[in-house]
């Protein structure tokens, strides 16, 4: 990890931060901590968020909290992985590959069993009918098309540098993320390029596009 602990908000609408700058929130059961990256609406509680992105450090086996009406995508960042098993057997998944997202119904009760020690993962949660998310792992230079509408207040794109250094090119702007860095951009459509550095033989970044659920454009924010 690196030594940066500050978030920088740029006039162009970008926020550049780092996982170490996010405030850890210990779980009540003592099994881990969560760091919220962003949520919409800003400041929304668990009862009324449309989308939420967070990073969790899981230290022990235990149940996953169930959230009715929430779609979840979870991605392993660090550690040997976790076995996710639902009470009814409908989900039986081993999350073992860094950068490979797994999508499931957040209302399904799950038990999480660590394979070999603690893990760090990224959680993307969207409230069904109000928001949607596209989570994409990047392993090489990639062009990103952000198709959000200018009037979509929920629109955000973010990149998390899971392994290695990554550069984002956005028109005349360039942003460099060291491993553990996070870039966030609010606003409408754009074309970007994400380019890995040469400091990591197997670079991985996670692209997350968030916005309103277009299938329910009449929904309240």
The pLDDT of residue 218:
46
Same domain for 117 and 28, yes or no, is yes
The pLDDT of residue 205:
98
Give the Cα separation of 220 and 76 in Å (integer): 32
Which range of residues forms the domain containing residue 105?
23-127
The pLDDT of residue 216:
53
The pLDDT of residue 109:
92
pTM metric for this prediction: 0.91
**Within-domain flag for 163:** yes
Same domain for 108 and 175, yes or no, is no
The pLDDT of residue 12:
67
The pLDDT of residue 221:
44
CA-to-CA dists, residue 103 to 33, 38, 207, 213, angstroms = 21, 19, 15, 16
| Domain end marker among 112, 127, 142 | 127
Mean pLDDT by 10 residues, the chain (221 residues): 59 84 89 94 90 96 91 98 94 97 96 96 97 97 86 91 95 90 88 93 96 64 44
């Amino acid at each position: 990890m690196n030594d940066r602990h500050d978030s920088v908000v740029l006039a162009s609408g970008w926020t550049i931060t780092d996982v170490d700058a996010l405030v850890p929130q210990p779980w009540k059961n003592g099994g881990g901590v969560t760091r919220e990256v962003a949520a919409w609406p800003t400041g929304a509680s668990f009862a009324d968020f449309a989308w939420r992105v967070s990073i969790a450090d899981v230290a022990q086996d235990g149940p996953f909290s169930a959230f009715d009406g929430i779609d979840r995508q979870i991605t392993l960042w660090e550690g040997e992985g976790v076995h996710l098993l639902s009470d009814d057997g409908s989900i039986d998944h081993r999350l073992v590959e860094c950068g490979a997202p797994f999508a499931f119904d957040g209302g399904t009760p799950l038990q999480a069993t660590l394979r070999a020690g603690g893990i760090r993962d990224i959680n993307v949660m969207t409230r069904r009918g109000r928001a949607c998310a596209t989570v994409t792992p990047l392993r090489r230079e990639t062009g990103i098309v952000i198709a959000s509408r200018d009037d979509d207040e929920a629109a955000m794109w973010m990149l998390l540098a899971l392994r290695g250094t990554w550069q984002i090119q956005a028109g005349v702007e360039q942003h460099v993320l060291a491993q553990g860095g996070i870039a966030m951009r609010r606003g409408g459509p754009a074309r970007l390029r994400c380019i890995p550095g040469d400091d990591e033989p197997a670079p991985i970044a996670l692209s997350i596009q968030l916005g309103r659920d277009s299938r329910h454009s009449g929904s309240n924010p």
